[in-house]
Structure 1
Amino acid sequence: MSAVWSAACATVKRRKVQTAVIGLVVLCSTTTVLLALALLSAASAPFDRAFGRQHGAHAVAAFDRTRVSDTQLARTAGRPGVQAAAGPYPQATVDVPAQWLWVPSGPLTVVGRSDPAGTVDRIRLLEGRWATGPGEIVVDWPGNGTPGPDKLGTKLTVRGAPAFTVVGFATSMSKSAGAWVAPEQMAALNPSSVQMLYRFTKSSTDRQIRDGLSEVTAGLPPGSLTTTQSYLTLKRAFSAVADTYLPFMTVFGVLGLLVSALIVGNVVSGVVVSGYRHIGVLKALGFTPNQVVTIHLTMVSVPAVAGCVVGTLVGDVLSRPILRDAFSGIETGSASIGVGPWVYAVCLLGMPALVVLAALAPALRAHRLSAARAISAGNAPRTGRGLRIQRGLGGTRLPRAVSLGLGQPFARPGRTLMTLAAIVLGVTTVTLTTGLTSTMVAFGKHGQGNGATRVNVEAGRPGIGQQAPKLSDRQVEARLRSLPGADLVTARALTTVRLAGYTQTAFADFYRGDTEMYDSEIVKGHWPHGPGEAAAAPAFLNQHGLAVGDRITLYLNGRQARVTLVGELVEGHARAVESTWETLAELDPDLRAIEYTVELADGADAEAYGRAVKASDPGLYVLPGDATNTTTTTVVGFSAVFTVLLTVVAALGVFNTVLLNTRERRRDLGMLKSIGMTPRQVTVMTVTSVAGLGAVGGLLGIPLGIAAHRLLVDHVGVVAFPESMKDVWHAPELVPLALAGVAIAVLGALIPARSAARLTIAKVLHNE
């Protein structure tokens, strides 16, 4: 075995260029694959782990206590398909009149539980203690970490009940409530429903959850089940933004794997062909065919392992900003966002294994060669390969260097096809990235309407330490319209509402004024303008099983409003619905706006307008300008990184091909130089040998990139791109893309071409 290792190490040292190519290719591919797998892992594993630790409820169900008794509900725990159940717990919905810490005004679901433990939905206490006495409450904390002990002891005021003292903060992965009190305190809240928490034996699909609930309610009075919530909805909301990035990362990861396998196979095939004599010598010295194969596999394994380790480290560093952006602003509960160990194991073990498999087929070619045949075969291609095509090209009026270069690929058709495939994938990547960049840039501008400058003004809220405006709601709007530079003004009120048939509350935005400025945010239907109209984002529609044209009922302060979904937004919060001021009047006519958006006239000074706003009322706060769309920045940035990586990898494949070709044709180059071919003509001939492949690769890669772009933008669940954002391909953009393949080929061929041009006749003949 020591002899095999020594021979393999000698081969690695002798073939430094091929070793470096394999290492760089594997490094780039590992980085790409790790990013895709890291996002896939973080999109599901953290939620599943936290949900499992808390024995989360597969279904949270609320029942009308006037229709069903606690005894009847307790018996549902023994129904077929129920793995475990908890409850019944009294449940009430109270109204928070004004923003309190992170809780907006609107309904808050309060449940009476004696302790946070239980067989289902074990609530994790983050700060303080559990509520046991009169007037005590534990509030749900939606984010990471803890709110801090300084928030304990604060007062939470609700309508129609005494103020509560916050004694603890907790989190539930089931989102079964917004707050908890001792069961004895529920009488003061007039609970109208009872909560049951279920875990089913089968719960992997929405249909299985529905079947489980149907089995549970089979023996109960009709109409007793009022609202339900599936954990699958929570899981989809948890990973909604991550799922946006996942298709992009997956496509680039697959492209990286394909290019890596092609180039490794091409490298090993070239090593075998160009090393016939070396293989023959090894066999003549007593190496068995299996040992010869082992030498070649070891030759690729050494740089593959090194490249894989470095690529894993680079991918780990790059994955952190992606995960930070993908899970920012969402309710993570007790889930700890991170990458599972299996991701690193797959990359560190799987990538070298893939390299060995890619190298196995050409390495087996060395296994079959006998010593005599290998030694006599030499290095040159077999006579007759591509001669007919080369003679045909020689009869054209093309310069001799060009005709000779165009004929070279036909001498090694297998190597040529693998090189062409690498170029095609490189052009596909460039085309895909170009389309994604155009789409995402348009997406980042979609909320800017006609491009006019907008100023967002917030009405001060004493609940978060701000001074309240002196002017009334309508007076504020009128004042903003009267200030110099204002063109259009809209007011927005925010509250939480309950949706009929759903346990978890939703955010509701209500608009009045010049709402036509938001027409550009609609991808299907129209922006709500009249009473009873609403719009929502794709994530909201998908998670609630709704579509444009459906009707939903909103509940607030004991009132209800029936609204029709008349529009689908390009994007938006998964728990938010947009409606009109007329709809708000049905629910809470006293609620005032918290934010005003002012679209300025052409040429108006935004800073001067902001100063005028502040001078008009100290309770008005001009918000910073719109931040850069992080999704757009992330997708465009990492698409560019992946494109550079895969383009370099494809160019390395061309580099390897040209290097092998020039080494095999050293005798031919010496003869051509001896009859008068100049170094410049040698360079032209060598570059031309792959430039034709680059042109063909460009023509094949463009339609593949366009198809991949359309496939991606059509399957992003949280964004509904309008056709104007998808239609990014026009003739002027396709011309440089058609030359991308030539650019990749020339980039890879230039260095070995110049090396071949510098070969002297004496050196070639001396080697012969």
Structure 2
Amino acid sequence: MRAVWLAARAAVRRRRVQTLVIWLVTLVSTGSLVVALGLVDAASAPFDHAFAKLNGPHVVAEFDRGKVSDGRLARAARQPGVEAVAGPFPQATVDIPRDTGNFGLGGEITVVGRADPKGAVDRVDLWAGRWPVRPGEVVLNRQSDWTADDLGKRFRMPSGPTLRIVGFAFDLSHTADAWVTPGQIGALHPTASQLLLRFRDASSQSALRAGLATVTDGLPRGSVNGSQTYLALKHRIGGSARAYAPYLMAFGILGILVAVLIVAHVVGGAVVSGFRHIGILKALGFTPGQVLGVYLAMVSVPAVLGCALGTLGGDLLAGPFLRFVFTGPASGVLHDSLGIAPWVNLLALLGMPLVCVLAALGPSVRARRLPAARAISAGSAPRAGRALGVQRRLAGTRLPRSVSLGVGLPFARPARSAVTLAAVVLGVATVTFAAGLAATLNGFGSGGHPYDVTVYVGDIRHGKEVRPVHSDPELQSLLRSLPGASRITARSDDEVLLAGGTQPVMLEGRRGDVTLDSVLTAGRWARRRGEVVAATPFLRRNGLEVGERLRLRKDGREERVTVVGATMDTNDRLVISAWPTVTALIPRAAPIAYHVTLRAGASPGAYARAVRAADPGLAPQPNGPNNVTGTIVGSATALTLMLALVASLGVFNTAVLNTHDRRRDLGMLKSIGMTPRQVTVMTVTSMAVLGVAGSLLGVPLGIVTHRLVVPRMAGGLDISLPPSMTEVWHAPLLALVAPAGVLIAVLGALVPARRAARLTVAEVLHSE
């Protein structure tokens, strides 16, 4: 074994190019695979861990206290399928003014009277202070916005008591915005009762619905205000991870395929170019098994090193990446559970080297079977045949002789050329997929909005809010009169409550051209009072469809509305309505922003500057990509460049092997007058042929990958993309990616071509 290791170590040092290629391709492939699998695992694992730790409720149900008593609810919950129950807890809805004195809470909030943060269901994470034990005390549901120094401050309830903050807690299921003692809740006039349920069968939405139906069977009609399940919450929290995972998996799979091809190609080339080395090893007494071991060790050393560094790099990148993906109200609790699972690292550390060894097994077995005498006597030049015949036929064309000779070279080693072509095809497919992904995300990043500039009412300067000097009607006239403006719509934002839910709904009102909004994916736009358009994630989270009815509440008012359309917006709390619906719930609603569409050719930047000059209390913001799309496009670009570089290294290795095999031919061509420039053209042309074929095959493969991956990314966010964002393959984009194969091939062949051009006839004859 020591002799095998010494021979393998010497081969690794001697074949620096092949070693570098294997190391780099395994590094890139392993790193992307670790991040991708870690993200797939993280799409559910952190939530499951945190939810189990807190013994969260499978169903949070709200009941009308005027129709069913707490005692009857407690008896109804005693069903065989119910594993545990907490409550019923009295629940009140309180409207908090939006000002800086209420710890970030504003609008309609839910307050629950609860005696203990623990219990059989839903253990609330009390991270600062203590639980209220007497009237006049309150605990706020805040994750990390405030510190323990805020304990003891006063929290004023409008038309109610002023409470002292004795603690801060976080509830993953968000069953309340604040908690008080059961004795205190009466002063807030509770209108609902909250029941927290865990079921023995919680595997699906249908099972949860069936379990809740068993509990509510026999209760008065209309006593159930609404309910929410933990599966909907889990789906919402893991949405970003599910959106990122498909494209990372695509890059991981492409990386593995490239790794297999390149490793097999490198080892195969090492066997062919090292015939004499193999013969010498056997002549020195190496058995066929030891020769096999030398070549497998030659691959394993850089492969294991690349996999180890790739796993380490993937772990380092995955930490901040997962924290970026899992942002939002539950991020703090989930971050404690985030990280790459041990099975992912184990799979990468063991699986990728095994893939490389299996890829190298075929060429290594060939080296094992090669007789010593044949190996020592083997010439360096390939047999005349396919390449020479093609070159002779091309000689009769008008192509320059260096070009015709170069076109025929790939046919000398068809197996080697086929593997190189496959690597180029995958490189081109990666470039094509990344270009299509960027085109889709650039459209999505701007929200699909047909407007160009959003003008916000009010601006913050030097820590102070500056209000506009114009009134609402004057602002619309002003914005419409500025150069470049075409259409304008006013937008209001207010939080309301959905009957049966504990989290507020963002009701956005539209006045003017209501179509100046996110892309409509189903139904139509709201035109009159009682009609709303909802974001697709909102509909899926609440189990709703276009055509169903909702009840929205605000300040004691209630409006029954019908969902008449769905938008592409990713906000799972968003509901959009025409202005009459907003004023029915909020009579004093006022626009907080104006969406402006510009005429063709108008500059959003110039319009924004004109807005600032016209009224210093306005804050214009041109429409553009967001951070999420920027992150995906940036990471996809980086992975694409690395895989394209790896494919170029495969071409580089092929060009090196070809020039090594044909040193005698190069010497003969130079002796009859071929110039160094012609040698360079011939070598580059031989690889450019593979580049052209790679583009012809790789571009369609990249388009297919784009069409498979992008809908799954959209599905992770619970949205549907319109055809304008998926059918991006128009002539300009195709023209941009078409030369990718040639560029990869030329980039990989250029250095070996220059080296071949510098060879002298004397050097070639001396080596012979």
- Tell me, yes or no, if the aligned pair for 2:454 and 2:594 is still in contact at 8 Å: no
Shift in CA distance, 79/731, structure 1 to aligned 2, threshold 3 Å: same
- Tell me, yes or no, if the aligned pair for 1:655 and 1:748 is still in contact at 8 Å: yes
Distance in 1, matches of 2:123 and 2:168, equals 14
User: Which residue identity lines up with residue 137 of structure 2 in the other structure?
Assistant: E
| Residue of structure 1 equivalent to 2:357 | 356
CA drift of 1:158 comes to: 4.0
- Tell me, yes or no, if the aligned pair for 2:655 and 2:753 is still in contact at 8 Å: yes
State which of 642, 661, 664 in structure 2 corresponds to 1:664. 661
**SS at 1:286 equivalent:** coil
State which of 546, 550, 566 in structure 1 corresponds to 2:564. 566
**SS at 2:44 equivalent:** helix
Shift in CA distance, 599/738, structure 1 to aligned 2, threshold 3 Å: closer
Of stretches 356-365 and 593-602 in structure 1, the one that deviates more from structure 2 is: 593-602
Shift in CA distance, 605/624, structure 1 to aligned 2, threshold 3 Å: closer
| Residue of structure 2 equivalent to 1:610 | 612
| Residue of structure 2 equivalent to 1:694 | 691
| Residue of structure 1 equivalent to 2:637 | 640
Distance in 2, matches of 1:544 and 1:381, equals 69
Of stretches 692-701 and 669-678 in structure 1, the one that deviates more from structure 2 is: 669-678
Distance in 1, matches of 2:493 and 2:725, equals 30
| Residue of structure 2 equivalent to 1:477 | 472
- Tell me, yes or no, if the aligned pair for 2:498 and 2:505 is still in contact at 8 Å: yes
Q: Does 1:677 align with 2:678?
A: no
| Residue of structure 2 equivalent to 1:617 | none
| Residue of structure 2 equivalent to 1:184 | 183
| Residue of structure 1 equivalent to 2:118 | 117
Distance in 2, matches of 1:413 and 1:467, equals 72
**SS at 1:334 equivalent:** helix
User: Which residue identity lines up with residue 439 of structure 1 in the other structure?
Assistant: T
Q: Does 1:739 align with 2:732?
A: no
| Residue of structure 2 equivalent to 1:257 | 256
**SS at 1:496 equivalent:** strand
| Residue of structure 1 equivalent to 2:87 | 87
User: Which residue identity lines up with residue 331 of structure 2 in the other structure?
Assistant: T
User: Which residue identity lines up with residue 613 of structure 1 in the other structure?
Assistant: D
CA drift of 1:563 comes to: 1.9
- Tell me, yes or no, if the aligned pair for 1:613 and 1:622 is still in contact at 8 Å: no
| Residue of structure 1 equivalent to 2:326 | 327
Matches within 5 A, 1:189-268: 189-218=188-217, 223-268=222-267
Q: What count of residue pairs does the alignment treat as equivalent?
A: 752
TM normalised by structure 2 equals 0.89
Distance in 1, matches of 2:674 and 2:468, equals 89
**SS at 1:197 equivalent:** strand
Shift in CA distance, 459/659, structure 1 to aligned 2, threshold 3 Å: closer
Distance in 2, matches of 1:596 and 1:744, equals 47
**SS at 1:660 equivalent:** helix
CA drift of 1:752 comes to: 1.1
Unaligned runs of 5+ in 2: none
Matches within 5 A, 1:64-75: 64-65=64-65, 68-71=68-71, 73-74=73-74
**SS at 2:457 equivalent:** strand
**SS at 2:236 equivalent:** helix
**SS at 1:714 equivalent:** helix
Of stretches 111-120 and 388-397 in structure 1, the one that deviates more from structure 2 is: 388-397
Distance in 2, matches of 1:219 and 1:282, equals 87
Q: Does 1:539 align with 2:540?
A: no
Q: Which digits, 9 at most, give the CA deviation of each residue in 1:620-643, with x for residues without a partner?
A: 564766675212322222222122
Of stretches 345-354 and 641-650 in structure 1, the one that deviates more from structure 2 is: 345-354
- Tell me, yes or no, if the aligned pair for 1:459 and 1:594 is still in contact at 8 Å: no
Of stretches 707-716 and 594-603 in structure 1, the one that deviates more from structure 2 is: 594-603
**SS at 2:61 equivalent:** strand
Shift in CA distance, 759/530, structure 1 to aligned 2, threshold 3 Å: same
Shift in CA distance, 534/388, structure 1 to aligned 2, threshold 3 Å: same
Shift in CA distance, 671/491, structure 1 to aligned 2, threshold 3 Å: closer
State which of 704, 710, 713 in structure 2 corresponds to 1:713. 710
Distance in 1, matches of 2:321 and 2:440, equals 19
Matches within 5 A, 1:520-531: 521-531=519-529
CA drift of 1:68 comes to: 4.8
Distance in 1, matches of 2:767 and 2:157, equals 93
Q: Which digits, 9 at most, give the CA deviation of each residue in 1:506-550, with x for residues without a partner?
A: 2222233x2447246434444433211212223223322334333
**SS at 1:133 equivalent:** coil
Shift in CA distance, 345/599, structure 1 to aligned 2, threshold 3 Å: same
- Tell me, yes or no, if the aligned pair for 1:498 and 1:555 is still in contact at 8 Å: yes
- Tell me, yes or no, if the aligned pair for 1:265 and 1:358 is still in contact at 8 Å: yes
**SS at 2:507 equivalent:** strand
Distance in 2, matches of 1:26 and 1:205, equals 40
Shift in CA distance, 292/102, structure 1 to aligned 2, threshold 3 Å: farther
CA drift of 1:650 comes to: 0.8
CA drift of 1:468 comes to: 10
- Tell me, yes or no, if the aligned pair for 1:105 and 1:494 is still in contact at 8 Å: no
User: Which residue identity lines up with residue 300 of structure 1 in the other structure?
Assistant: V
Shift in CA distance, 504/290, structure 1 to aligned 2, threshold 3 Å: farther
| Residue of structure 2 equivalent to 1:579 | 577
CA drift of 1:749 comes to: 0.9
| Residue of structure 2 equivalent to 1:299 | 298
Of stretches 725-734 and 659-668 in structure 1, the one that deviates more from structure 2 is: 725-734
Shift in CA distance, 437/332, structure 1 to aligned 2, threshold 3 Å: same
- Tell me, yes or no, if the aligned pair for 1:406 and 1:689 is still in contact at 8 Å: yes
Distance in 2, matches of 1:687 and 1:597, equals 54
**SS at 1:733 equivalent:** helix
Unaligned runs of 5+ in 1: 615-619
- Tell me, yes or no, if the aligned pair for 1:132 and 1:182 is still in contact at 8 Å: yes
CA drift of 1:593 comes to: 4.6
- Tell me, yes or no, if the aligned pair for 2:612 and 2:619 is still in contact at 8 Å: yes
- Tell me, yes or no, if the aligned pair for 1:94 and 1:158 is still in contact at 8 Å: yes
RMSD over aligned CA atoms reads 3.2
Q: Which digits, 9 at most, give the CA deviation of each residue in 1:154-183, with x for residues without a partner?
A: 444445532333222111112222221112
User: Which residue identity lines up with residue 556 of structure 1 in the other structure?
Assistant: K
Q: Which digits, 9 at most, give the CA deviation of each residue in 1:185-210, with x for residues without a partner?
A: 23333333332223333334323333
| Residue of structure 2 equivalent to 1:163 | 162
User: Which residue identity lines up with residue 765 of structure 1 in the other structure?
Assistant: L
- Tell me, yes or no, if the aligned pair for 2:451 and 2:517 is still in contact at 8 Å: no
- Tell me, yes or no, if the aligned pair for 2:551 and 2:561 is still in contact at 8 Å: yes
**SS at 1:195 equivalent:** strand
User: Which residue identity lines up with residue 57 of structure 1 in the other structure?
Assistant: P
CA drift of 1:664 comes to: 1.9
Shift in CA distance, 187/429, structure 1 to aligned 2, threshold 3 Å: same
User: Which residue identity lines up with residue 443 of structure 1 in the other structure?
Assistant: F
Distance in 2, matches of 1:239 and 1:398, equals 58
| Residue of structure 1 equivalent to 2:450 | 449
Shift in CA distance, 497/684, structure 1 to aligned 2, threshold 3 Å: same
| Residue of structure 2 equivalent to 1:282 | 281
User: Which residue identity lines up with residue 252 of structure 2 in the other structure?
Assistant: G
| Residue of structure 2 equivalent to 1:723 | 723
- Tell me, yes or no, if the aligned pair for 1:325 and 1:630 is still in contact at 8 Å: no
| Residue of structure 1 equivalent to 2:109 | 108
Q: Identity of paired residues, percent? A: 51
- Tell me, yes or no, if the aligned pair for 1:275 and 1:379 is still in contact at 8 Å: no
Distance in 2, matches of 1:622 and 1:470, equals 10
Q: Does 1:408 align with 2:409?
A: yes
CA drift of 1:336 comes to: 1.0
Shift in CA distance, 88/365, structure 1 to aligned 2, threshold 3 Å: farther
Shift in CA distance, 468/641, structure 1 to aligned 2, threshold 3 Å: closer
Distance in 1, matches of 2:426 and 2:597, equals 45
- Tell me, yes or no, if the aligned pair for 1:280 and 1:371 is still in contact at 8 Å: yes
Shift in CA distance, 542/413, structure 1 to aligned 2, threshold 3 Å: farther
Shift in CA distance, 109/450, structure 1 to aligned 2, threshold 3 Å: closer
Shift in CA distance, 747/594, structure 1 to aligned 2, threshold 3 Å: closer
Shift in CA distance, 252/191, structure 1 to aligned 2, threshold 3 Å: same
User: Which residue identity lines up with residue 478 of structure 1 in the other structure?
Assistant: P
CA drift of 1:129 comes to: 1.5
| Residue of structure 2 equivalent to 1:140 | 141
| Residue of structure 2 equivalent to 1:11 | 11
